[in-house]
Amino acid sequence: MIRVQSYAPDGFIALDNSALIYPPTEARFNANTYRVSIDLKQVIVPEILDLAVQEMLQRCSYAKVSLHKGFFWYFLSPNHKTPILHEEGSFPSGRIFRKENNGYLFKVLYSKHRIALECFHALTDGSGALVYLKMIVSEYCRLAGIAEFTFSGALDFSKRPSKQEFSDPFQHFFDPKIPGTPSTGRAYHRIGTGSYDDRVKVISATVDAKTLRERCKSRGYTVTVYLCSILLWALQELQKQEVPVQKRRKPLKLSVPMNLRNIFHFDTMRNFTLFAVPGIEPALGEYTFEEILQKIYLDMAFSQDPKRIRSQIRRNVGGERHILMRFAPTAIKNPLFKLLSDSLGDDLYTAVISNLGYVSIPPELESSLTRMDFYLCPGQMNKVALAIVGWKDKVTINFSSFFNTDTDLERLFCQFLVQDGVPVEIATNRSDEHKEQ
């Protein structure tokens, strides 16, 4: 099949299928960003970091792009400006104002000990961003004389980029012969208590990786299934308070991004994620934690079936290739995307939980690494998001929230972990607000 961009002028890089929705829906409460960061013992030198970022961009030229609004679609084109380093602020995963960032779709931030990479979702997904961060950190450590090492899973600076790295995997796996997955029904959305604004309030829970793994193993489930189940259990408890009548309780569903690189063995640096939507139906009765674990496990296994994923890809890419979508101008598509994205996306799940997995740290870096984080941006419908990353002997569970004072979900989640024998250590950027009350 001939792709539309084959006829495109030089410098036109089509967004991947998953990225199409992000630029038109970017607004207040919809930053469509996320962040990965690494804290080192050494003090970060911005000049060296700048060199490391430029080295990374030299190798990954597909990240050296800016976003433009075309007549039919948003598109990427090479960006010849120099990337800007930003000083760390007060909260993660805020909106990226591209004009203040020389047009780049990612933002490198630094503080005394931290190197952070915030990405707009149109560029890549969490796994892609982690690869960029690994490259920046390894190059920084080399240039700063800290250590020379290569992260497992990072790209080799000495090799030329492969075709897979910058190709749109969704187009590659699109099969017009199979039917698309039907859309699921609406899910419950927490009302919460108190006000909210677009500052991202963080509660970061750090747990011991070994203890967590042992708890999961004793129950016979993976870490992702275990943590998803705790989140669903906490949501069930909160829904009971907000909706006292059982039969009126809407389904509780989670959006769990699946890294399709592992399933399809396709090493792309663009978005290659689809979402599993495991959930329970509290209208049918209260679920015990064991029942939730089992339900999540089955739902996740069902969602990870490659045939089912291909069907999802068929639906998404089929929509993009529809004649009306292809030839409708952006002036019409943009407002429609904004108005429909909720009913086709955020409305279908109650919360987002993303597990980046365990990041293996090279032995040369182990002594220097003090912390690693992964943050998602919350949304207007689902105001609390949960991001998990494992590093060394720790697992960091970061809650990012728009609520100013409501921390009920975080509290129930952490209390469950503690009661289940997993010690939790808490850090937050909420401290000032709490002192005011």
Partner 1 sequence: MAYCVMCGVKLEDGAVQCPLCRTEVLLPSHVVEKPAEPLFPHPLPEKGTGGISKTSKGIIELILPLLVVSEVTIALTMWYSGNFSHSFIPLFSTAMAALVIAMALVSRHSYVAQTTTHLILVSLYLLGIDGSSGPLSWSVIAVGGIAILWLYAVFTTTRTARTCPLGSASLLMLATLGYLAMINLVVVGKLSWFFPVALPTSLVLFAGVGLFFLLFLTRKRTRLPLADLIFFNLIVLFLTFTALDLFLNRYGSGIWTLSWSVSLFSASVALMLLLISVSVSRRIRRFFTSQNRHS
Q: Determine the 3-state secondary structure of 42 from DSSP.
A: coil
Radius of gyration of the chain (CA): 21
Q: Using alpha carbons, select from 359, 366, 392 the residue that is nearest to residue 147.
A: 366
* Residues composing the chain: 437
Shortest distance, CB of residue 19 to partner 1, whole angstroms? 16
Shortest distance, CB of residue 103 to partner 1, whole angstroms? 19
Q: Determine the 3-state secondary structure of 182 from DSSP.
A: coil
The H-assigned helical ranges of 266-305 are 289-303
**Residue 267 or 420 having the CB closest to partner 1:** 420
The CA distance from 356 to 262, in Å, is 12
Shortest distance, CB of residue 407 to partner 1, whole angstroms? 5
Position 200: which residue type?
V
**Residue 84 or 424 having the CB closest to partner 1:** 424
The CA distance from 433 to 199, in Å, is 12
**Residue 310 or 338 having the CB closest to partner 1:** 338
**Residue 46 or 285 having the CB closest to partner 1:** 46
**Residue 311 or 341 having the CB closest to partner 1:** 341
Shortest distance, CB of residue 291 to partner 1, whole angstroms? 25
Q: Using alpha carbons, select from 316, 287, 289 the residue that is nearest to residue 174.
A: 316
Q: Which tokens belong to 284?
A: 């049918």
**Residue 16 or 26 having the CB closest to partner 1:** 26
Q: Give, to the nearest 10 degrees, the angle between helix 223-242 and helix 408-419.
A: 130
Shortest distance, CB of residue 52 to partner 1, whole angstroms? 21
Q: Using alpha carbons, select from 105, 402, 101 the residue that is nearest to residue 271.
A: 105
What is the edge-to-edge ordering of all strands in the sheet holding 74-78? 13-14, 74-78, 65-69
**Residue 157 or 337 having the CB closest to partner 1:** 337
Residues that bind partner 1 (CB under 8 A): 25-30, 87-92, 94-95, 111-112, 197-199, 201-205, 331, 334-339, 341-342, 380, 407, 410-411, 414-415, 418-419, 423-435, 437
Shortest distance, CB of residue 210 to partner 1, whole angstroms? 17
The CA distance from 263 to 261, in Å, is 6
The CA distance from 130 to 126, in Å, is 6
**Residue 27 or 284 having the CB closest to partner 1:** 27
Shortest distance, CB of residue 396 to partner 1, whole angstroms? 11
Shortest distance, CB of residue 385 to partner 1, whole angstroms? 16
Shortest distance, CB of residue 111 to partner 1, whole angstroms? 5
The CA distance from 342 to 381, in Å, is 8
* CA 76, chain centre distance (Å): 21
**Residue 198 or 281 having the CB closest to partner 1:** 198
Q: What angle do CA 195, 200, 201 make, to 5 degrees?
A: 75
374 bridge partner residues:
36
The CA distance from 164 to 62, in Å, is 12
Shortest distance, CB of residue 429 to partner 1, whole angstroms? 5
**Residue 308 or 371 having the CB closest to partner 1:** 371
